[in-house]
Amino acid sequence: MKIEIYTVDYCPYCKKAIAFLDEHKVDYTRTRIDDNEEAWREKLRKMYNIQGDVTVPQIIIDGKRIGGYTDLMAAYDKGEIKF
């Protein structure tokens, strides 16, 4: 399973998502987008065809966009994602 997470340092949901992944000892690639946030948000919008605001964190599992922290937790609780 390949997990990518796009974050900004000031985001509490980014911190929660990272803590959750760390708790479950999941390997992931983290990309901090703080340095060029607007450009990254636009890049993510195009890469994953995101309609509306591009929020963080953005979590990608095996090339499929899961969404943010709440989406990650919902998918985990439903058993759609297993670690």
Mean pLDDT by 10-residue block, N- to C-terminus, for the chain (83 residues)?
Answer: 97 98 97 97 96 96 96 97 91
| CATH number of 3-77, picked from 3.40.50.10190, 3.40.30.10, 3.30.2010.10, 3.50.50.60 | 3.40.30.10
pTM: 0.94
Confidence at residue 83, expressed as pLDDT on a 0 to 100 scale: 87
pLDDT at 76: 97
**Domain coordinates of the chain in residue numbers?**
3-77
Strand partners, 32: 7
Residues 6 or more apart in contact with residue 63 via CB below 8 angstroms: 2
Q: Is the distance from CB of 7 to CB of 33 less than 8 angstroms?
A: yes
